[in-house]
Structure 1
Amino acid sequence: MSVTRAVVLGCGSALPDRVLTNADLAEMVDTSDEWILQRTGIRERRIAAPGQTTADLGLKAAQRAIADAGIDVGTIDLIVLATATPDNTFPATAVTIQERLGLTSGVAFDLQAVCSGFVFATTTADAYLKNGLAKRALVIGAETFSRILDWEDRTTCVLFGDGAGAMILEAQTGEGTVDDRGVLATKLRSDGRHKEKLFVDGGPSSTQTVGHLRMQGREVFKYAVAMITDVIEAVFDQAQVSADDIDWFIPHQANKRIIDASARKLGIAEEKVVSTVDRHGNTSAASIPLALDVAVKDGRVKRGDLVLLEAMGGGFTWGATLLRW
């Protein structure tokens, strides 16, 4: 039976030039390279330059994804930007990127699911394409988390960085089997009871300020592995595959201990896990497309590979997407 699949045509990424190392942070707060590395696996992260915005990073990643796909930018009729750090309260940062790409038709909007944003955005674009609401989509995850960090809080400022990644999806006809290219299965979840564990203490309606990121790190870690494996097992059931069938596991790059524990619980071999947390830190919605682009460009992810994406973020939100490259 023929079905419509959202097939990946290309990907791209962008990082700020400034590198902030653990040693640099040790001069700013009471921490050390050893302390950060042991607890998170992070060695360095990128920080946006003054005046460099989420739209700037998202646009560069989008342009590289468009070039990688080899398409005419004018054929894009959907832009979904996942971000928790938009340029403005409104309009959507996706609209700014749309304008800078020279597009005047189609639809562009932001999606807010924090670190799970890219999985939520990919799932949203997949639904648009499958239902004939668009033919070609640009999905972006872009963040400037450095702008919402409390640089005196050593428990959070060491974790996050800035960056962007993007992917082009196109509606194509598949055979309806797991061998099809494109998005094969998705599962999303949210549970607002956990808001206080990871949130920003500001907003237009509540404080009229941007606010700073606040996190109960031990609580987040306690829930993360179980929630992640829950949605991944649901995706495996949907697609009728197992961990052994996965070629590449590309998780949200929050913490190496969470990544390793999740892979072990799922039975995914260590050599199949793509990890860039050491060089990027946690870039929220940008972390999965950044890691994906690294793995594609260095030749690990190849056409026909079965790729598993997974993330968990504030809210809590969490989700997984299975796609064949």
Structure 2
Amino acid sequence: MPGQDVYIRSAGSALPGPAVDNAALARRFGMDALWEQWVEVFIGTRSRHLALDLESGKLTDTLADLAEQAGRSALDAAGLNPEDIDAVVLGTATPDQLMPATVNVVADRLGIDSVRSFQLQSGCSGAVQALDVARQILLSGHGKRVLVLGGDVIARFYDLTTDLRKAAPAELVNYVLFGDAAGAAVLSTEPGPGSAVVRSLFTRLVGRGRTPGAVLEWFGPADRNSDRPAATEDYKAIEEHVPVMAEEVLHELLEDTGWRAEDIDLVLPPQLSGRMTALIAKRLGLPDARNVSCVDDAGNCGNAIVFLQLEQALAGLAGGERAVGVSIESSKWIKAGFALEGTL
């Protein structure tokens, strides 16, 4: 619908269990103090939450468990009931099962029925892709309120028998980089208290001819005994490309909105690791903007991370203030960004 505004009414999140710091990881995997120091200096993430009991190796939470909690939180914050929702969209790289789709399991648990539902499989920018799909649903006139979910449970891919002292760097980094979480937001054509209007939002695949920067395997009966690692990360490639891509996203958002860098009050930078996020935030060149970051304590929790940031941002975004968010997906390289303005 031409001229129709779309608002983010609320956001919510769910983190499993207590925080797991680097010392706890070091003890569990028999690593020494130098390894712990390496994590602090070169990765910069202090802790993360895991949907896994490190001692028993048993999963404590599924993605559906966490997404249900986050969804309820977002609905409550928006003052809405399940029957008020016209569509549900989920972005994840780690669905609980191939079928049924996790989005439909969560909708069922929340009491949402007879609506459109979509599940997008992608890395971190899947959260923004899900927001994009929700926005298009609303702009096309097919509803007034969409519940958007995002999250990942990456700990299920951990091999707790692995000797990390012998692991390749591309495999080792996953044990310290990631955390588990889910998040949610309510998008609507109707503003509400503490909402923000979406001034710009885009996602764009830019992976043509590029080698994947991250790989997450899915093993079936025919290849379950494969010696391929379940997850690998080309951290060097990510260090090289993500800061450049993040800067490109910011420039495109500014051009699309007509805003100047000095107009930005909040910035939501990519949440790769504590160290990388700090470097990217500095590179974006928005010294007067407040930085909304949670990766230091929550780890890189994939498709949940944008929602964790949105939850913080909405709480601190005053009427008329402006925020920009940047998300980069490194598995096959997707640029994504959004611009928000607080409602009066």
Q: Give the CA deviation at 1:144.
A: 0.5
| Cα contact 1:39–1:257 (8 A) shared by 2 | yes
Structure 2 match to 1:177: none
The partner residue of 1:319 within 331, 336, 340 is 336
Q: Give the CA deviation at 1:119.
A: 1.1
CA separation in 1, counterparts of 2:248 and 2:221? 34
| Cα contact 1:232–1:310 (8 A) shared by 2 | yes
Aligned pairs for 1:42-191 (under 5 A) are 42-49=45-52, 50-151=59-160, 152=162, 153-172=171-190, 181-190=196-205, 191=207
| Cα contact 2:6–2:188 (8 A) shared by 1 | yes
Residues 107-165 of structure 1 show CA distances to partners (whole Å, capped at 9, x for unaligned) of 11211221111111111111111111222011111111111235544322110000111
| Higher mean displacement: 98-107 or 24-33 | 24-33
What amino acid maps onto 1:59 in structure 2?
A: E
Q: Give the CA deviation at 1:303.
A: 4.1
| Cα contact 1:58–1:97 (8 A) shared by 2 | yes
The partner residue of 1:40 within 31, 39, 43 is 43
Residues 159-192 of structure 1 show CA distances to partners (whole Å, capped at 9, x for unaligned) of 000011111010149xxxxxx9521112322215
CA separation in 1, counterparts of 2:179 and 2:156? 10
Scaled by the length of structure 1, the TM-score of the pair is: 0.89
| Cα contact 1:150–1:213 (8 A) shared by 2 | no
| Cα contact 2:265–2:288 (8 A) shared by 1 | no
- 2:201 match: secondary structure: strand
- Number of aligned positions between the proteins: 317
Unaligned runs of 5+ in 1: 174-179
- 1:311 match: secondary structure: strand
- 2:119 match: secondary structure: strand
| Cα contact 1:150–1:156 (8 A) shared by 2 | no
In the alignment, is residue 8 of structure 1 matched against residue 25 of structure 2?
Answer: no
Give the percent of matched residue pairs that are identical in Structure 1 and Structure 2. Answer: 29
CA separation in 1, counterparts of 2:187 and 2:220? 33
In the alignment, is residue 281 of structure 1 matched against residue 284 of structure 2?
Answer: no
Q: Give the CA deviation at 1:51.
A: 4.4
Residues 206-229 of structure 1 show CA distances to partners (whole Å, capped at 9, x for unaligned) of 946896111111111100111111
Sort the Cα spacing of 1:276 and 1:270 in 2 relative to 1 into closer, same or farther, 3 A: farther
- 2:150 match: secondary structure: strand
CA separation in 2, counterparts of 1:19 and 1:280? 8
Flag the structure with larger Rg: 2
- 1:193 match: secondary structure: coil
In the alignment, is residue 259 of structure 1 matched against residue 277 of structure 2?
Answer: yes
| Cα contact 2:63–2:96 (8 A) shared by 1 | yes
CA separation in 2, counterparts of 1:270 and 1:57? 35
Unaligned runs of 5+ in 2: 53-58, 163-170
| Cα contact 1:123–1:321 (8 A) shared by 2 | no
Q: Give the CA deviation at 1:55.
A: 0.6
